[in-house]
Amino acid sequence: MIASRALLRSVAVVRFRIWLATALAFGALIAGFLRAQVNEEKRRDQSEETEKRAASTPKPKKSPTPKTKRRHTPTPKPKTAKEKSGAKKTADKANKSAESKSARKEETPKPRKTPAPQVEETRAASETAAPQPRAIAVPTPAPSPQPKPARAVSAGAQAQVVIEKSGIEEDQGFEPPPSPPPRRYGFWPWSRPVNYRYLTSSVVEAIRRAPVKRRRWQFIVVHNSGTRQGNARVFDYYHKHVRRMQNGLAYHFVIGNGTSTGNGQVEVGDRWRRQINGGHVHSDYLNNISLGICLVGDFNRDQPTRAQLDACEELIRYLRDRCGKTERGTIPVKPHREINPPRWPTDCPGDDFPYSWFRRF
């Protein structure tokens, strides 16, 4: 409330200053125009008075009479007194006629002096009009403190977007790859030929080589393909060209059922090799923190094979060792129907899937 009152007061002060500045500017303009009119009237009165004085008392000093005397002075030397008197009379007549002509000439060019005040009026008007932008430019710097709250809002909005879309809070380095599984051969009854049955050396090496970041993956989600046959290559083509997914195969791993690939055969997807988010859950946030494993088959009509379940169990246990532990401990394993948002319900991995199998994890 205090901040809002202070803002209202500052706005009122700014408005009052703007009003006062505009009033002063208009007052200056009106005063300039009034001064120009008064000056015009004074100049007109002065010009009228000078005209009256010139008409009543013409100035004899400016007459060209001495020029005529100089022209006629050398001639009267041999003349008599009578001729001198006659010459004087003619000279007086000439002087009178010259004075009348000069008076007429002085009367006619006097109106030419009238346009001079017009030039002065234009100069005065330009001088009075020049300070207009100075008076108006004073209140412009007032609205400068307005953009500060807009910057704070934009920064907050960007922070919210980053928090909503990212599943990784901080870069905590890479998880060190575990040692390769031991292979023991022998004739003793307690020895085993191979530690993993379905994870081949190429699959294990592909899982180990991926640059996994610490606490990058928080869930492992199990799906069914919804088709009775298929493999990673077929699903990649479908997701890329039919569903228009830029990164192709939506899952990180695919386990075959013996139709297009071997029964229990594990295929490593490009999303795991590149360590990018999946496209198997209807949530960008969950896709960024969960690994997707697809079992080929439609488990609303059939059940997964035993080899698929065993291969999936081996894969999950090795992925837990590879990705490390999370804040909740080991990475939890969930079916698709339990982790999908409630707004988009799904029956994946199918009604006939043995959900008791998840209790092993």
Could you tell me the CA-to-CA distances from 42 to 39, 46, 48, 258 in Å, in that order?
Answer: 5, 6, 10, 116
| The predicted structure's pLDDT at residue 122 | 44
Separation of alpha carbons 326 and 213, rounded Å: 12
**% of the chain residues with pLDDT over 90:** 40
Strand 290-295 to 263-268 pairing: unpaired
Strand 290-295 to 253-257 pairing: parallel
List, as one string, the DSSP characters of 198-231.
SS-HHHHHHHHHS-PBTT---EEEEEE-SSSS--
| The predicted structure's pLDDT at residue 296 | 97
Q: Is the pLDDT of residue 107 over 50?
A: no
178-216, pLDDT tens digit by residue? Answer: 766 555 444 555 555 557 899 999 999 999 999 999 888
pTM over 0.85: no
| The predicted structure's pLDDT at residue 43 | 82
| The predicted structure's pLDDT at residue 306 | 96
Who has greater pLDDT, 282 or 167?
Answer: 282
Residue 92's pLDDT band (boundaries 50, 70, 90)? low
Asked if 296 and 256 count as a contact pair (C-beta separation under 8 A), the reply is yes
Asked if 226 and 266 count as a contact pair (C-beta separation under 8 A), the reply is no
In degrees to the nearest 10, what's the CA dihedral of 191, 193, 197, 202?
130
Q: Is the pLDDT of residue 124 over 50?
A: no
